[in-house]
Structures are given as C-alpha cells and as structure tokens.
A and B are shown apart, each in its own frame.
Chain A
Amino acid sequence: DQQVKQNSPSLSVQEGRISILNCDYTNSMFDYFLWYKKYPAEGPTFLISISSIKDKNEDGRFTVFLNKSAKHLSLHIVPSQPGDSAVYFCAAPRGGGNTPLVFGKGTRLSVIA
C-alpha cells in the first residue's frame, strides 16, 4: 500500500517558468513532509520540509504548499533553472513523529534552456 504517491513520473518545464511537483498521501497521521532532490548515481539531498500545522513554507526559489483536507502537497520552483533538473521525492515519517520515512516514487523534472 503506497502511502505517499507521486503520480507524475516526469515533468518538463522551460527555464524561467514555474515547476509544480505534486504529492498525495493517504495517512492522515502524517505530521511532517519532506522533499528531496536526487541527481543520477548520487544520494538524495534534503530540499525543504513542512509541518502539518502549516500550509506553506518558503525557502528562496522553493515553496511547499500543504492542503491537509485534500491530503495533498506541492513543491513550487520559481524560476526554474537547468540545474534543477533532477528527480524529486516526497517523503513523510511513516508512523508520524520520529519514525523512518516513507518515500514516493519520485518525479523527474527536466528544465529546458
């Protein structure tokens, strides 16, 4: 049973435009969400997170929005740059609190110059 779903395997965006990556979850007990960025043959790197008590968190070009009623979160990248081309994973602590993360399958973002 996939508790964190990223339904778009890939996304292509022109440089300078907005990239929107989506993530849905099924477990209403999730209290924290994280986004990771991964380049090929490298480990993921932490990008941004959001607590379930917030509906928005912003860090430079990256903003994560959380809609608890819809069990949906999205990562916005504005403006998109070629270096943003990577696979993005959405994750959440599987048991809430401080428990191992469960990851979505990822979305491959390609930013075209």
Chain B
Amino acid sequence: DGGITQSPKYLFRKEGQNVTLSCEQNLNHDAMYWYRQDPGQGLRLIYYSQIVNDFQKGDIAEGYSVSREKKESFPLTVTSAQKNPTAFYLCASSTGGPGLAGNEQFFGPGTRLTVL
C-alpha cells in the first residue's frame, strides 16, 4: 500500500539535545513538507522540498533543519536552538505536478515530540 510513514509515533527528548524525525513516502511524490501543530493552532509550515536536493524554509524554520537526499525521504532535525519544540509534527507529500490536483497533500500519522 502506498503512503507516508513517520517514526517514531512518540518521542521524548532532554532539553539541549538534537533529535531527528523520520518521514518516508512510497507515493512517488516530488514534493514533501513538514508542519507543526500546537493546541488551538493550525498547521504551520516548517520546511518544504519540491525536488530532491532542494528545500526551502517555511514560516517557522528557526531551530529546525532538513535534508532531501532521496525522493522518498525527508527527515527533520529539531535542534537545541528550537525554543519550544514540544509539539505534534506532521509530514506530508504531494505530486507537485501541474494542475490543481498537484496541491493535494497526503499526510503521515505524525510524531508527538515532548521535551523533558
């Protein structure tokens, strides 16, 4: 079955440590995205990548880093510079192709990160 996987489901980190969240897709999508959701907030864009080996900052990129070495994978690193890292993190992908349907994003199940 095609889809997006995120691991782990729950992650605990000590303050001051970096942590990497995994995102893998087998949908053959070109574009991938990372969002953060906080209580009462919508989804805020952290980083996105429209093609392998290229990515752009979103609205709240400070304290985060990404890589896109393979089409299927878009890992997100939450660094110690991120002041409020406790949140629900969502990865998504889309075809990124022409036409309006290229905008439809498919989401993974999310990773809940808690900083202790």
Contacts and interface: CB of A to CB of B under 8 A. Distances in A.
Contact of A9 (B40, B58, B106): B40
A103 interface: yes
Interface residues of B, number: 29
Interface in B33-87: 33, 35, 40-45, 48, 58
B2 interface: no
25 contacts: A4-B42, A6-B42, A9-B40, A32-B100, A34-B104, A36-B107, A41-B110, A41-B112, A42-B109, A43-B6, A43-B108, A44-B90, A44-B107, A46-B104, A46-B105, A98-B96, A98-B102, A100-B58, A101-B105, A103-B35, A103-B42, A103-B43, A103-B44, A105-B42, A106-B42
B107 to A, nearest CB: 3
Contacts of B48: 100
Interface of B: 4, 6, 33, 35, 40-45, 48, 58, 88, 90, 92, 96-98, 100, 102-110, 112
